């Protein structure tokens, strides 16, 4: 790639239009770059220098429309740091004065009155509005996961979420979000922990303390995913995604032994307990809580 073309991509954050590329080289050279994957077509008439990540794909839309595109829903949640699903589709608001067409991997929302803020320097639907709008499209467990993540991100607080729920009153799913908001807790560290907590609450268990801290006999600080401190009962969510490898397994066993030495009863939880055997999980935890109360 010659210097002028490289400079073009560099000056435009890795994206360029067909017309811009042809102005400094020729179509044959562009085809060659596409064949060797040095350049990737991301939208009609828009190319990326190398593989395009989410930010570069959006910059390509900016270039195509001639203005900054505002993101919303999952994409805005990603930029704010509280996306829980990791979906690849881009969600954007149609810019005024343009007719941005949907495409594979691109969902265009034609909405008015959406409050805007800045997410990583880009226009985006406001944080609390985004959290509520995403949550109301989810199942109850994933909606709670979204609300938990929004609080954990620090970009939202309960008052802002409540105001966004009021502003979206009457829309599909918003009643579900309103009912879940009192349960939301920013201390949940993963979506599956949120799902597990909802199973516990729906099953009639006392609401657990999240990330409860104890100091073991060697002076090490230990955090418990779910704890009922008065009964000395805890539950720990074990995820293959977060706990993989021999070192992680060794640390988990050391933690379990340290907690047992202190007198804690620790109930391990995996995804199937939460999604396929929720009542059995509730019964297991409930039986330990009952025994602790009797003793």
> Which domains occur in the chain, in start order?
3-51 (no CATH), 73-183 (no CATH), 191-294 (3.40.960.10)
Task: Specify which residues 212 forms β-bridges with.
Answer: 224
For residues 109-145, one letter each, b for 16 or more C-beta atoms within 10 angstroms of the residue's C-beta and e for the rest, the string is: beeeebeebebeebbbbbbbbbbbbbbbebebbbbbb
CA 2 to chain CA centroid, Å, is: 40
Q: Would you give per-residue pLDDT tens digits along the chain (295 residues)? A: 678 898 999 999 999 999 999 998 889 988 898 998 899 999 999 999 989 999 999 999 999 988 999 999 999 999 999 999 999 999 999 988 778 889 999 999 988 889 999 998 999 999 999 999 999 999 999 999 999 999 999 999 999 999 999 999 999 999 999 999 999 999 999 999 999 999 999 999 999 999 999 999 899 999 999 999 999 999 999 876 544 566 767 787 888 899 999 999 999 999 999 999 999 999 999 999 998 766 5
What pLDDT is attached to residue 244?
55
Measured distance CA(211)–CA(124) in Å, rounded: 31
Residues near 146 by beta carbon (within 8 Å), at least 6 away in sequence: 77, 82, 84, 131, 134, 135, 138
Spatial CA neighbour of 195 closest among 183, 206, 204: 183
Q: Please state, in angstroms and rounded to a whole number, the distance separating the CA atoms of residues 184 and 93.
A: 28
- pLDDT at position 152 is 98
Distance CA 295, CA 289 (A): 10
**What residue has token string 């009542």?**
279
Tell me what pLDDT residue 112 has. Answer: 82
Q: How far apart are CA 73 and CA 31, in angstroms?
A: 35
């Amino acid at each position: 790639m010659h210097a002028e073309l490289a400079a073009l991509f560099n000056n435009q954050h890795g994206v360029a239009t067909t017309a811009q590329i042809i102005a400094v080289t020729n179509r044959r050279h562009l085809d060659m770059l596409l064949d060797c994957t040095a350049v990737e077509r991301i939208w009609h008439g828009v190319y990326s220098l190398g593989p395009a990540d989410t930010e570069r794909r959006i910059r390509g839309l900016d270039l195509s429309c001639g203005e900054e595109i505002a993101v919303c829903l999952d994409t805005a949640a990603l930029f704010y740091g509280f996306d829980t699903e990791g979906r690849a589709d881009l969600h954007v608001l149609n810019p005024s004065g343009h007719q941005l067409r949907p495409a594979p991997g691109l969902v265009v929302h034609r909405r008015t009155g959406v409050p805007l803020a800045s997410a990583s320097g880009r226009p985006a639907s406001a944080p609390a509005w985004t959290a509520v709008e995403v949550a109301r499209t989810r199942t109850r467990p994933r909606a709670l996961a979204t609300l938990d993540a929004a609080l954990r991100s620090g970009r939202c607080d309960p008052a802002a979420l409540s105001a966004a729920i009021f502003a979206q009153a009457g829309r599909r799913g918003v009643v579900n979000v309103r009912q879940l908001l009192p349960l939301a807790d920013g201390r949940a560290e993963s979506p599956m922990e949120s799902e597990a907590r909802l199973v516990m609450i729906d099953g009639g268990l006392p609401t657990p303390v999240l990330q409860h801290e104890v100091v073991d006999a060697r002076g090490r600080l230990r955090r418990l995913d779910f704890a009922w401190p008065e009964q000395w009962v805890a539950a720990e969510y074990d995820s293959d995604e977060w706990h993989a490898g021999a070192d992680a397994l060794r640390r988990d066993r050391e933690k379990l032994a340290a907690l047992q030495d202190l007198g804690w009863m620790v109930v391990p939880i995996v995804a199937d307990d939460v999604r396929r055997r929720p009542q059995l999980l509730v019964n297991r935890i409930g039986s330990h809580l009952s025994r602790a109360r009797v003793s």
